[in-house]
Amino acid sequence: MPREPKNYDHLIGKIPGLSEAQLKAHFTLYQGYVKKLNEIEEKLSTADRSAPNYSFNEFSELKRREPVAFNGTYLHEAYFENLAADGGTPPESFKKAATAAFGSVDNWLSDVKAGLLSAHGWVLTTWSYPDSRLRNVLVQSEHHVGHLIDQQVVIAVDAWEHAYFLDYGAKKADYVATVLKSINWKAVSDRIAMSGLAMTFK
Ligand SMILES: [Fe+2]
CA 2 to ligand 1 centroid distance, Å: 21
Give the pLDDT confidence of 75-117 residue by residue, as tens digits: 999 999 999 988 889 999 999 999 999 999 999 999 999 999 9
Distances (CA, A) of 182 to 133, 147, 154, 197: 24, 24, 15, 22
The CA 87 to ligand 1 mean position distance, Å, reads: 21
For each successive 10 residues of the chain (202 residues), what is the average pLDDT? 96 96 98 98 98 98 98 98 92 97 98 94 97 96 92 97 97 96 95 90 84
Query: What was the pLDDT predicted at 202?
Result: 79
Beta strands in 45-178 (DSSP E): 122-128, 133-139, 151-158
What's the confidence (pLDDT) of residue 4?
A: 98
How much is the pLDDT for 36?
Answer: 98
**Amino acid at the residue 70:** F
Q: Where are the domains of the chain?
A: 17-81, 92-200
With CA atoms as reference, report the closest residue to 109 among 170, 55, 41, 177. Answer: 177
Q: What separation in Å is there between the alpha carbon of 179 and the centre of ligand 1?
A: 13
The Cα-based distances of 129 to 42, 43, 115, 123, 176 in angstroms read: 32, 33, 21, 17, 27
Q: Is 92-200 CATH 3.30.930.10? A: no
Tell how far the Cα of 97 is from the centroid of ligand 1, in angstroms: 27
How remote is the CA of residue 161 from the centroid of ligand 1, in Å?
Answer: 8
**Residue 160 CA, ligand 1 centroid: distance in Å:** 6
26 CA → ligand 1 middle, Å:
6
Q: How close is the Cα of 201 to the center of ligand 1, in Å?
A: 31
Q: Given this model, what pLDDT does residue 107 score?
A: 98
Cβ 164 vs Cβ 172: under 8 Å? yes
Q: From the CB of residue 168, how many other CB atoms can be counted at a distance below 10 Å?
A: 19
Measure 17 CA to ligand 1 centroid, in angstroms: 16
Rounded CA-CA distance 150/165 in Å is: 32
Helix axes 20-46, 58-81, angle to 10 degrees: 150
- pTM of full prediction above 0.85: yes
pLDDT at position 37, please? 98
Is residue 152 within 8 Å of residue 191, measured between CB atoms?
A: yes
The alpha carbon of 6 and the centre of ligand 1 are apart by a number of angstroms equal to 14
Cα of 48 from ligand 1 centre, angstroms: 32
What does the pLDDT read at residue 138? Answer: 97
61-67: long-range contacts, CB 8 A cutoff, minimum separation 24: 65/36, 65/40, 66/37, 66/40, 66/41, 67/143, 67/144
Residue 199: the pLDDT is 85
